[in-house]
Structure 1
């Protein structure tokens, strides 16, 4: 079955999981809006896509800023066509134990993950509803199950699962599905930064974490990108409101 070419928006797509996802969706034949905080940061992902023969454009926006989101989605529509695929990937960490965590650290994480996903989805869903077809894929995390030093991040990622399930209920009858991916340990810029913050050698950190995973390896950004591709596929229309843990082993 050949997929219809559509316009996809991937947030936080300058690097890591977002970049890999943008590249994969372009390889699937979609036009991809590569969105990050600064347009300049997103250009390298666009260049990778274009070098492979795909179609993409860079856009800059703070997903927690309502006006910036509105303007960015309008710009995507003008340049690439009305978006009917959205990948809510943009995220930040501000890790600390609860008694050391500032209100600003809490608000910053909630703003990007929860407010950002809400604003982006609200802005894009009108195009999905008009087309009577849409895919919303949101990135959660195994941290949603609880993780020391991540009260803010864990709460946000758990909230995104509830957000996704509610979208599935509200939008399913309109041809729009919403699903959630909860990655486990993924080798990326974010986990490398965690190792650096802890003062641990990256390769040692990665090897130690891999030993704890049933498949005995760290996840790669492409593992997540492949899962996004599955949720976005035309043939996945009966998969809705699901949370899949891409973590190399079972999670509950």
Structure 2
């Protein structure tokens, strides 16, 4: 029997809606607690350098109030390292970040930024924060993650998600091969970006993938069916794939 696939719910875009009007509604922490009730195994939040959605106060509250693990997505900067070391989330996923991008556009170049990443990874690990690297499904990046001592990689599924169904086979093979390679080398495999109930099945079926992190779709779908129902539908699709 395959191990149950974990679901991490990203609540960034609840904060996006809040920040569009200012004030404190809707509250992303309330959304995170609802997500937990609906079956989320963890909560993910990306504290961007420009604070376009999640804020420092949100991270402090999430770290204090969540009954499930908090996964802090962060750029590889000294500012973000300091915040992670202060709040000690269960996990920190290092992601690439550009000010002008609407959302994360690809994986971290762990191989090209090895020297820069090494001290950050070491300090996070020394603080008992589980380090994850958000990377492309590429052998060179997995090798870099292994050499950095990152216990987890999150494979970027955005390219897969944005291809038409008939064009996905090659990208799915890349993801499947990368997951197998990482797991063979003792790295835990997560995946995420652009996943929906319509496209999640092939990714959820990859046996080495232990966790999916999904946000934008769930917050969008919540407009139509409610957040708890959206999460339960995704949970059911993931379980069916296994």
Query: Normalized against structure 2, the TM-score is what?
Result: 0.38
From the two aligned structures, give the one with the greater helix fraction. Answer: 1
Query: Normalized against structure 1, the TM-score is what?
Result: 0.37
